[in-house]
Structure 1
C-alpha cells in the first residue's frame, strides 16, 4: 500500500504535465495562426514575398508571444488534468485512501516552478534571439517600403566624462553591423557638478558601429563658436556594442534575461531611466512563482467532489479568475512603468496574490 500511495503523486504529476503540454499545443497553434495572418497583412501586403518567407517570419516571431501566454498553459492544463481525474473518480479514491490533496498538488506546483525557471533562463534568451532575427528578416523584406517611409532613431551613449546624443533618419544592419543613415551627433562634456556643456555637433551621411567606435563617412563637424570642418571619414569612441545598440531599438520585452543587468547599467550610464528594464527583470524573476501560482489555483478549483455537483461552474470560475489575475498582472506592470507603484510591487504582487488565493481555497477545500 505504501508503494502504491508513493506512486500516486508521480501519476498525478504525469497527468498534469500531459494536460499542460496539450494546452500549450493548442495555445501555440492559435498564436501561430494569428501571427501568420498579422505578418501576411503587415509584411506580405507591403513587399514581394512568398508563403515560405511569411511562415519563416511567423516561426521567428511566435515564440515570444507563446512565452507571454505560457501561464495560461499551466492554468488550462492543470485544470483539465484535475477535472479529468475527478470525473473518473480517481481523486475521490485517492482522498478516500487517506492521501492529502497537498501531497499530489505540491509536485505539480514544484514542476511548474522549475519549468518557469527554465523558461526564464533558457527559453527567454532563445525567444529574444529569434525576435532579433525576425526584426532583421522583416527589415530586409520591407527594405523598399521602409526606405520610402524612414523612421527616426535616437541613441545615447556616454560615461562620467562625456555624453553623446545620436539622431539618425534610418537604421539597419549590414553583415551584423549596425548602420545609421543621415546621422547627427550632439556631443556634451560632463562638468564638475554633473551638468552637461555642449562641445560640438557632427553631421554624417552614414555611421557604422564597430567594436569600441563609430565609423562616420561624409562628415561635417562644427564646434561651438567655430566654423564647419569637412572630412571624408571620422572615428569617435563608443560605449555601445552591436547588441546594446540593437536593444535600444527594441522594447524591454525583446531583451534576453541575461542581457538585462548590462542593459540597465548601460542605460543609466547614458543618462536614461532604466525603469522599464528593471521592471522587466523583476517580472522575469517572478515568472516561476506565477507558473506555480497558476498551477495551484487551477488545482484548487477542480478538487470539489463530483457528487456535490457544480464542478463545471467551479472550474469555469477558476478559468475566469486566472484571466483576471493575468490582466491584473498587466495592469500592475502598466502602473509600474508609469512609476505609480514601486517596481517590486508591480512585478511580484500579482503572482503572490494568485498563489495566496489558490492556497486559501485549497485550505478551505481540504481542511474545511
Structure 2
C-alpha cells in the first residue's frame, strides 16, 4: 500500500508542479515587458531585476497554488484512469476515500505553504515592492534623452536635441533647443551648439551649454525683446514628478500591511476593506482543501476523456471557482453580502459540491457522469501509422509517395500528430489567458454593471491577439511533445532504419512552421488591427471610461516640414481647434539648420487656414528677424500671411494610435509623419520591425525544439512541456530585454527586434546540426 501511495503522490505532484509553473508563467507574461523596460531605463542592476521578479512571485502564488493542487489532482488521476490503473486499484480494494486521503496529503502541504505565503511572505514582498517603486521613481531623471524628439518631462521646460552621444557619467548633446514655459504665451528660448549633461541627484540634470543664445520677451510688451549670447553657461533642469512604475498590484498598500495592522484597521472607519483582505489571506490557501473534494471524484471518473478530460475540467473549475470568489469579494465590498459569506462563498460551494460528487461515486449517480462526459468531447485520438494511414494508401497510389517527394505518408502522419497537439496546446493557452483576463475585470464588471454580452464581445475580440502571442510557444511545445513521443515509442528509430534522414523527417514540421509564420504576418496585417481597435473600445466601456479619441490637437510642439537648403521651423501653440483649423497664441521659431541659432520668430494671437488662398492667416502679432545677437527687423501686424509656411492643416492633426492597431504599411506611414513633426517614434520603429520578426520566431522555435525533444530520451510529455516552459521564459526575457533597450534608444530598432530571432535561430541550428541524423 505504501508503494501505491507513493505512486499516486508522484503522479499528482508531477502534474501539480508543472501546472503551478505554467499558471505562474501565464500570469508573469504581461509583467515581464514593463519590468524589463523599467530596469533598462533606470540602469537597474541584474540583482535588482531578479529581486523584483522574486517579489512578484508571492502574490502570484497566492492564486496559483490552489490551481496547481487542482490541476495535479485532475490530470494525475485522469492519467491513471485513462490507463485503467484506477480500475485495477479499486478492484484491489482501494476505496474513493483512500484516494481522497492520499491526495489530501498534497493538499495539506499546499495549504500550509499557502498560509505561510499569504500571511507572511506576500505582505513582506508587497511592502518591499512599494519601497523599490519609490527608489525607481527617484531615478526617472536618468532616462535617455532621445534625439529629434520634444522632451516635456522637465519642470516648465521643453527640450529638443538634434543629436545625442552617450558618455561615461555624462552625455553630449549637439544643437540644443530649450524653451522655458514659465510664461506660456512668451517662452524664453535658449539655443546652443552643444551641451554636456550630467545627473546630480534623483530629480535634477545639469546642462553645460556652449556657444549659444537666449531670447526673451514679455507677452504684454511685444516691442521689448532681449537677445544675449554666451560662450558657456550652466543650467539646472528639474524633472517633474514621475508616474509610478506600478510594479505591484493596484491594492499594493493594503497587500503590504501585516496581519496585525489589518486587525487594527478593521476597528476603524472603512475597516470593511481591511477585513476582506484579512479573510482572503485565509480563504485562498484553504481552497487547496476544498478543491480536492471536487478534483478526486472528477479525476477518477474521467476515464473516457483521459488527460483531455482532465484538462478541460481543470479550466472549467478554475474559472468557476475564481468567478465565485471574485464575485463574492466584490459583493462584500459593496456591502451586499457579509464579509465572511462573500470571501468564503467559493470555498463553501465547492466543499458542498465535492461532498456531493463523492457521494455520487458511492451511489452511482448520473450527475457525476454528466460532468465528466464533457471532457470526452475534447478527447485527442492518437493515430498510429499502421492503423490510421492504411486505407488512404490503398485508395490512392500516386507519385507523391515516391521517396524524395512531398508529402509522403510519413509526412502526413507527422503533420497530423503535430497539428493535433498544436490545436490542443493553443486552445489551452488562450483559454487560460481569457480566464485570467476575466478575473482581472470582474470587479469593474460588477462595479459598472457591464452587460455580459459586452464582456463576451470584448473577450471574443481579445482572442485574436492572444492567438498571435501564444502561437510560437504552442509550436515549441507541440514539437517537443510530438518528437519526444516519436523518440520514446521508437518510431523515430524505425524511420531512420528505413533510410530516412532526420533532416527529411523534420521537413513537414518546418513547412508547417513556415506557413504559420507567414499566416501570423498576414493575420496581423488583415484582421488583428481591427480586432484590437474593437477590443480596446470595449475595454474602455468595461472600465467605465469615456469613449477614447486618438486625435491629439493638444500637442503644443511640432517640427515643421524640412526642406533641403531652407530654414527649419518649430511650431508652438497653446490651442488648436482641429475642426475649424484655428490656432490660439501660436509662435513659429525659424532657425538656421547649420548653427541652430534663431533667424526669425513669429508670434500671433490667432491663426486660421484660408482654403481659398491655401495659406495660414496670422492675426494680431509680430515678426522679428535676427542676425547673431542683434535684431535686424521688427514689425507688428493685424493680419498677415507667410507663403513660406507650407504646412497644411492636416499636418497638425496627428493621431496617436497604438502600433498593434495598425498594419505594417499603416505603421510605416505613421512613423514617417511623426518623425517629420519631431515626435517620439523609437517605440514605434521597434514595433514596426517586430511585425516582421515576431512571426518568424515560430519557425525558429520549431528548429530549436527538435534537438531538445530528441535529447529527452524515454521521458514523457511532461518533461517536454517543462523544457518548453523553460525555453519560453528564456526567450521572453531575452526578447523583452532587447525590446526595452530599443525603446530607450540603447539599440537600433532593427537590432532590438531581430536579435532574439538571430540568437535563438543560431542556437537551434547549431544544436540541430550536432544531432545524429
**What TM-score comes out, normalization by structure 2 length?**
0.37
Measured in 2, the distance between the counterparts of 1:117 and 1:63 equals: 16
- Equivalenced residue count is 326
Aligned to 1:206: none
Measured in 1, the distance between the counterparts of 2:486 and 2:660 equals: 37
RCO (CA 8 Å, sep 6+): is it higher in 1 or 2?
A: 1
Aligned to 1:8, the other structure's residue is in SS state helix
Q: For structure 1, which segment, 183-192 or 109-118, has the greater mean C-alpha deviation from structure 2 after superposition?
A: 183-192
**How big is the shift at 1:192?**
5.2
Aligned to 1:129, the other structure's residue is in SS state helix
Aligned to 2:527, the other structure's residue is in SS state helix
**How big is the shift at 1:20?**
1.8
Is structure 2 residue 672 aligned with structure 1 residue 265?
yes
Q: Match for 1:293 among 681, 690, 700?
A: 700
Greater radius of gyration (CA)? 2
**How big is the shift at 1:332?**
0.8
Deviations along 1:34-89, one digit per CA (max 9) or x if unpaired, are 222233334x2552321111111222233224322321111112222222323333
Aligned to 1:21: 423
Measured in 1, the distance between the counterparts of 2:417 and 2:697 equals: 20
Measured in 2, the distance between the counterparts of 1:14 and 1:73 equals: 15
| CA-based RMSD | 3.9
Aligned to 2:464: 63
Are residues 97 and 270 of structure 1, via their aligned partners in 2, closer, same or farther at CA, if it must alter by over 3 Å? same
Aligned to 2:592, the other structure's residue is in SS state coil
Is structure 2 residue 674 aligned with structure 1 residue 239?
no
Aligned to 2:590: 191
Contact 2:700 2:760 in 1 (8 A): yes
Are residues 262 and 166 of structure 1, via their aligned partners in 2, closer, same or farther at CA, if it must alter by over 3 Å? farther
**How big is the shift at 1:262?**
0.4
Measured in 1, the distance between the counterparts of 2:666 and 2:573 equals: 22
Aligned to 1:218: none
Q: Runs of 5+ in structure 1 lacking a partner?
A: 169-177, 204-212, 214-220, 230-235
**How big is the shift at 1:326?**
2.2
Q: Match for 2:536 among 135, 149, 160?
A: 135
Deviations along 1:109-143, one digit per CA (max 9) or x if unpaired, are 23212211221223354222122122333445666
Aligned to 2:685: 278
Aligned to 1:103, the other structure's residue is in SS state helix
Deviations along 1:270-305, one digit per CA (max 9) or x if unpaired, are 111322111111112112331111111122211247
Aligned to 2:481: 80
Which has the larger share of helix?
Answer: 1
Pairs within 5 Å for 1:1-368: 3=401, 6-42=408-444, 44-139=445-540, 146=546, 154-155=554-555, 158-160=560-562, 187-189=586-588, 191=590, 193-194=592-593, 197=601, 199-200=603-604, 223=621, 237-239=649-651, 245=655, 248=656, 250-304=657-711, 306=713, 313=719, 316-367=722-773
Q: Runs of 5+ in structure 2 lacking a partner?
A: 1-392, 394-399, 563-567, 608-613, 624-635, 640-647
Measured in 2, the distance between the counterparts of 1:84 and 1:358 equals: 20
**How big is the shift at 1:310?**
8.6
